[in-house]
Amino acid sequence: MSNKKLWSGRFNQPTDAFVEAFTASVEFDQRLYQYDIQGSIAHAKMLAQQAILTQPECDVIILGLEQIQQRIEQGGFEWSVELEDVHMNIESALTNAIGDAGKKLHTGRSRNDQVATDIRLYLRDEIEVIRSEILRLQLALLDMAESEAETILPGFTHLQTAQPITFGHHMMAWFEMLQRDRERLADCNKRVNIMPLGAAALAGTTYPIDRNYTAQLLGFERPSENSLDSVSDRDFAIEFSAAAALIMMHLSRFSEELIIWSSAQFGFVELSDSFCTGSSIMPQKKNPDVPELIRGKSGRIFGHLMSLLTLMKGQPLAYNKDNQEDKEPLFDTVDNLKGSLKVFADMIPAISCQHDAMRKAAMQGFATATDLADYLVRQGLPFRDAHEVVGKAVARCVEKRCDLADLELVELQAFSNIINADVFECLTLEGSVAARDHIGGTAPRQVLAAVARARANLNGSV
């Protein structure tokens, strides 16, 4: 079997051995093989339809490519660095297998439009997988939100106790972020799913190709409009990476909460043993490794976004070899994003809420101070004055080391004589959350309604 370079016609000297390895991409782009073959089969069919290839030539090419795919999948394909990349490895294997017809496959195309097509086919598939992993995580959050719709914990701003909220409401906040993430990927896919094939090296090709037909065979929305643009830009990959960075940012924040919540000091949740590890020296430890690792992985994914932006910023039109550097950041983004989503979706149902600890924490830090102010407003006091009155009452509680609900009615009345015995209802945690009873509010009733709306929406859209 010869590994003669497919472009070596004008060369007199062999490639420097180090340069050969340095410029090769086969080590990482071989993972595109199925898309490369899929693209080649569609290209061959189009060439035959246009009578650029004969039907027997097309048939033997397709059969040859299918056999190569099988060989790759069975581990019997030998990738060669001398043949530089996935495209030339497969083309050369095809020619070795079927002879001259194999040499005709590259008619009217270039590796430049070929690689751009491969990446788009790959990314289109991965976007679908990622979107379904996000959905799985969302469904886990809906179940959790439903079963913990009445569970009360302190809500924070500045990580200081702010107002009581329900755990279900908190889960639905993450649900919403993931919903936008999933939509963003669907939107990104509109620009991914455009076919570059036919742009050839940069200017198009002199053969009477039918790009609509190839696009249709490959399930692309349409062929791209401009050949130079098609082979050179990687904005679709950058856009995907930006969407991935946002997802990881969300997962990282969520992880941060799980890490804090599972600490002995908070104790709001218990992570299942299967998602934690121990310490080799401290026997008491159960570390939240999974959320920590996801928080950590967000860094490399943000980095890949920067890599890709920087990769493109200095490139004149059209294709430049720089673009070969798009793959590793993109693949690593896909792999780590998928992994993070998978483990998160598996982990959520395995979280157990520690209701007592949440409740105890919600009782500290004057979480119902705003409710007292709202009570005074309902009694006719302007909000700013009510704020002042409650501030004084809180200061008194700080002195006495007690909560607002622990003050006697007479003590409260010392701050404002419009306070009556019914005030205690709104100082309870249940009263506080139940009162926020509007779309987007934390009342258990609203959480259940939000879950129901979300389920209906998902059923409508998935």
Interface residues with ligand ARG (CB under 6 A) are: 25, 29, 85, 111-112, 115, 319, 321, 323-324
Cβ 331 to ligand ARG shortest distance, Å:
12
> How far apart are CB 96 and ligand ARG at their closest, in Å?
20
Nearer to ligand ARG, 32 or 185 (CB): 32
By the 10 Å C-beta count (0-12 exposed, 13-18 middle, 19+ buried), 187 is classed as exposed
Single-letter amino acid, residue 103: K
Contact 441, 450 (CB under 8 A): no
The question of whether 158 is a catalytic residue gets the answer: yes
Q: β-pairing, 351-353 with 152-157? A: unpaired
Cα separation, 199 vs 43, in Å, equals 12
Nearer to ligand ARG, 85 or 233 (CB): 85
* Cα distance between residue 332 and residue 32, in whole Å: 14
Q: Which is nearer to ligand ARG, 126 or 181 (CB)?
A: 126
| Tokens describing residue 459 | 């059923």
| SS3 assignment, position 299 | helix
How far apart are alpha carbons 226 and 258 in whole angstroms? 48
Selected catalytic residue, list 158, 274, 280, 438: 158
Strand partners, 165: 153
| In contact, 123 and 240? CB cutoff 8 Å | yes
329 vs 441, beta carbon nearer ligand ARG: 329
Q: 37 with 68: CB under 8 angstroms?
A: yes
User: Alpha helix (H) ranges present in 193-288?
Assistant: 211-217, 227-232, 235-261
Beta carbons within 10 angstroms of residue 237's beta carbon: 27
Is 87 a known active-site residue?
A: no
> Which residue's CB is nearer to ligand ARG, number 110 or number 189?
110
CB 121 to ligand ARG: min, Å = 14
Query: In the complex, what is the shortest distance from the CB of residue 91 to ligand ARG, in angstroms, rounded to a whole number?
Result: 12
CB of 5 to ligand ARG, least distance (A): 12
CA distance 94 to 84: 15
Rg (CA), the chain: 30
- In the bound state with ligand ARG, the residue whose beta carbon lies nearer, of 201 and 309, is 201
For the four alpha carbons of 238, 243, 249 and 252, in that order, the dihedral sign comes to: negative
CB of 115 to ligand ARG, least distance (A): 4
Question: Catalytic residue among 8, 263, 272, 279, which?
Answer: 279
Q: Which residues contact 342 (CB under 8 A, 6 or more apart)?
A: 133
Q: Closest distance between ligand ARG and the C-beta of residue 29, in Å?
A: 6
Residue 8 DSSP class: G
One-letter identity of residue 384: R
Whole-angstrom distance, CA of residue 65 vs CA of residue 53: 16
Closest to ligand ARG by CB, 93 vs 389, is 93
Catalytic residues, by residue number, are 158, 279
